[in-house]
Amino acid sequence: MATGKKKHNSSGGILGTILILCIVTVCAVAVGKSMLGAPQENPDTSHGVQASQTDTDSDSTSESVSTSSATDSASAGQTSSEGTTDTATEESSSASTDTESSDPSDKSDFVSSNKTDSFDKDAWYMLLANPDHPVPDGYTFEQATIYSAGRNWVMDARCAEEMKAMIAAAKEDGVELILCSTYRTIETQTKNFNNKVKEYMNKGYSEEDAKKVTATIIAVPGTSEHHTGMAADIVTPSYQRLNAGFDQTDAYKWLEAHCAEYGYVLRYRKDKTEITKIIYEPWHYRYVGKEAATIMMNEKLSFEEFLEKYGT
Ligand SMILES: [Zn+2]
């Protein structure tokens, strides 16, 4: 359970300014090839999990970064459990919870309004959030909470029921899925980012270099898919680390086989890091609606590729 750990990554980083140090956790994910320009961990951050990371992210190539990521991983491991958790907590507490009230018709919208070969990029479930497409200013959505691993997690009410259904279905099959990070505010992401910069500066990096390195590990605030309320990091009791090793678990295998049935997709594939700019994250799932999810999973497409091919 959890200790929250967070990780993020993102691309370039300009943020900056005040670095406040609070416990952050970053599930460090090692990333890409060079400190810059490499795939980053997504905004994933808060994982109420034990992020022992260091991800393996094998593929993620980590050369120059590996050092740093290794470092952070270490620090992530020791970081308090509070950091992350809190954030999440504070967010979830403010959640509205109305899952029950969510109108089922919402979910069928995409089914009826989309043809299999074309998807409206403006549909709410097609919202793209990545290093090049920050979440729109003031983006809001109706929140709902999902109880998992001893606490409530906030997600967009329009896809929260599907997440609950997916978790329940897995349970029926003997697989326990637990949430470790869902909706994250930009404020939380900013705090995490700044804490990480501070950490590097304490190690002797200049502010500029500290920001560059941080951007490869933590999503620049505003660009994390967790800001959309449609993304969730999912683990299982026997393996709560956010690293590539998660793909060896029964939980991952179940998710890979069934997530599309609930409208979710494996968002950051191992072989798509050049496109997503985010490291391989077998624990991160994003809601896109059942039809799009089915296509994306069948064709093994990243969301970016899907929008390019099917978006209108
Ligand atoms: Zn994530």
Among 4-8, 22-26, 38-42, 125-129, the minimum mean pLDDT is found in 22-26
Note the pLDDT of residue 190. Answer: 93
Query: pLDDT band at residue 7, thresholds of 50, 70 and 90?
Result: very low
pLDDT at 77 over 50: no
For residue 115, how far is its CA from the centre of ligand 1 (angstroms)?
29
The pair of structure tokens assigned to 242 is 């956010």
The pair of structure tokens assigned to 168 is 């329940």
Domains and CATH numbers, the chain: 97-185+220-310 (3.30.1380.10)
pLDDT at 132 over 70: yes
pLDDT at 12 over 90: no
In degrees, rounded to 5, the angle at the alpha carbon of residue 208 between the alpha carbons of residues 205 and 213 is 70
Note the pLDDT of residue 236. Answer: 98
Report the alpha-carbon distance of residue 89 to residue 91 in Å, rounded: 5
pLDDT at 215 over 50: yes
For residue 2, how far is its CA from the centre of ligand 1 (angstroms)?
15
Q: Which of 91, 162, 199, 281 is catalytic?
A: 281
For residue 181, how far is its CA from the centre of ligand 1 (angstroms)?
7
* 3 state DSSP class of 209: helix
Among 97-106, 144-153, 266-275, the minimum mean pLDDT is found in 97-106
Among 24-38, 121-135, 161-175, 198-212, the minimum mean pLDDT is found in 24-38
For residue 141, how far is its CA from the centre of ligand 1 (angstroms)?
18
Enter the pTM of the model. Answer: 0.66
For residue 202, how far is its CA from the centre of ligand 1 (angstroms)?
27
Count CB neighbours of 97 within 10 A.
19
Note the pLDDT of residue 241. Answer: 95
List Cα–Cα distances, 265 to 210, 231, 255, 284, in angstroms.
33, 9, 9, 8
Note the pLDDT of residue 117. Answer: 78
Taken in order 158, 163, 168, 172, the sign of the CA dihedral is positive
Query: pLDDT band at residue 279, thresholds of 50, 70 and 90?
Result: confident
pLDDT at 29 over 70: no
Q: Looking at residues 196-222, what average pLDDT do you find?
A: 91
Per-residue DSSP letter, 222 = T
Nearest Cα to 92, choosing from 11, 180, 153, 158? 153
Note the pLDDT of residue 263. Answer: 98
**Whether the Cβ atoms of residue 19 and residue 197 lie closer than 8 Å to each other:** yes
pLDDT at 288 over 70: yes
The overall average pLDDT reported for the chain is 73
Nearest Cα to 259, choosing from 215, 298, 229, 225? 298
* 3 state DSSP class of 252: helix
More confident residue, 161 or 1: 161
For residue 8, how far is its CA from the centre of ligand 1 (angstroms)?
8
Note the pLDDT of residue 160. Answer: 98
Note the pLDDT of residue 116. Answer: 62
What is the share, in percent, of the chain residues with pLDDT greater than 70? Answer: 63
pLDDT at 218 over 90: no
For residue 55, how far is its CA from the centre of ligand 1 (angstroms)?
14
Q: Residue 162 catalytic? A: no
140-193 pLDDT, tens digit per residue, is: 999 999 999 999 999 999 999 999 999 999 999 999 999 999 999 999 989 989
